Chain A
């Protein structure tokens, strides 16, 4: 089945560092990927929609200059947390839907997430 891979699975870094998270669709091409953030004991919150070859669409309240998204190919989207601070510590998850010809509603597949801890 369709697989979405995230890297790294966890990262610890100092405040002020920029951190890049990769999201890859391993066996399908994804023109659209989604980035979510999840705080402990809370649900997933959509941050932005990543569009291949064009600018990402950010949800209200998400700083586009803080969370840089690049979707340069049909199998890779990256999220860069710039000048990260402790409040950016969270679990970041990406997802994508594998298009299937003639099938209206394929489910989204999620990566296993990236645990980001800013000291």
Chain B
């Protein structure tokens, strides 16, 4: 399973765009990149997933360069409620695939 590296923590202010970058240098050809959000005392919540280029949904965008050795989660106009830990995970497809969580990034949104 590809190892991921993320910043341990980030601070931002309300209304700003936040970009969290994840490094995954040994990503394999059949690996997907998935981001989760976790609030204290809750299970992780799926944010976005991609394989290459750019993916956008109603809450975030995911940018993946051509070499796929990194990815950037972009959260537009964050609010206080976006304060959470964000995990980047990399792994192959398949329902039997377990996820290996890295240390995650603690995002703190300040007023």
Contact = CB atoms under 8 A, between A and B. Distances in A.
A91 B98 contact: no
Interface string A73-113: 00000000000000000010101010100001111111111
Contacts of A19: none
Contacts of A91: 41
Given A32-B95, A106-B95, A112 B101 contact: no
B34 A32 contact: no
Given A43-B87, A43-B104, A107-B34, A113 B98 contact: no
Given A43-B87, A43-B101, A49-B98, A110 B44 contact: yes
Contacts of A31: 95-96
Interface residues of A, number: 28
B6 to A, nearest CB: 10
Interface of A is mostly: strand
A106 B46 CA distance: 11
Interface hub of B46, B49, B102 (most chain A Cβ within 10 A): B46
Contacts of A49: 96, 98
A104 B93 contact: yes
B80 interface: no
A113 B101 contact: no
A9 to B, nearest CB: 9
A105 B93 contact: yes
Given A43-B87, A43-B101, A43-B104, A107 B95 contact: no
A46 B95 contact: no
Interface of B: 32, 34, 36, 41-46, 49, 87, 93-104
Interface of A: 4, 6, 30-32, 34, 36, 43-46, 49, 91, 93, 95, 97, 99, 104-113, 115
Given A4-B43, A111-B43, 8 more contacts: A36-B101, A46-B98, A91-B41, A104-B93, A106-B95, A108-B46, A110-B36, A113-B43
